[in-house]
Amino acid sequence: VSDHFQPWRHEGGHAPFSLAWMTAVGERTQRLVLGTSVLTPTFRYNPAVIAQAFATMGCLYPGRVFLGVGTGEALNEIATGYIGQWPEFKERFARLRESVKLMRELWLGDRVDFDGEYYKLRGASIYDVPEGGIPVYIAAGGPVVAKYAGRAGDGFICTSGKGEELYKDKLIPAVREGAEAAGRNAEDIDRMIEIKISYDPDPELALENTR
């Protein structure tokens, strides 16, 4: 489920709170895998709170929850009160890396002191954590973050509609390069792509909605 505060489009747009949606679906299913595509744990959310939320869902629905993360979109963060100029990619990427490190430390179940550039913890601990923590899927639209997904992600997420060359010639090779640099097997990293659809009981309206 997408974690947008504001949808990409106003007319016909939807932006449910992803964590409530995941919990509701988790209660009504037995095998379905639940995750975000994607959530930004760096601005309107504190990464420690996201770590707690996903640890809880991981305990409720063992083996069925993953956290998909990205560097963020201005339309979500500015609408919810972000002050100042929207950060450049360098800072947003640094925040993402730091937040993933912080969350994984909390998922170990120990008491954590964390002194990052953007986030701090003092004696923090999550008491209910699923064994093995929560898989983290990294969303990337370019090779820099794709390499990071290869280095540090349990999975890699990209979106459709960008042209085959981007995936085949840039993103997938970058994931592989990052994995190899970290001594990992790239085949162990899950790959996920969003496929956009337009649904309406009237096929003509569904087609019109794609334009």
4 is catalytic: yes
Cβ–Cβ < 8 Å for 146, 57? no
Cβ–Cβ < 8 Å for 175, 149? yes
Q: Which residue in the list 14, 73, 88, 98 is annotated as catalytic?
A: 73
Q: Which residue in the list 4, 77, 98, 105 is annotated as catalytic?
A: 4
Cβ–Cβ < 8 Å for 124, 114? yes
What DSSP string describes 8-38?
S-STT-----HHHHHHHHHHH-SS--EE-S-
Per residue, what are the HEC states of 94-146? HHHHHHHHHHHHHCCCCCEEEECCCCEEEEECCCCCCCCCCCEEEECCCHHHH
Cβ–Cβ < 8 Å for 4, 40? no
Q: Which residues are catalytic?
A: 4, 73
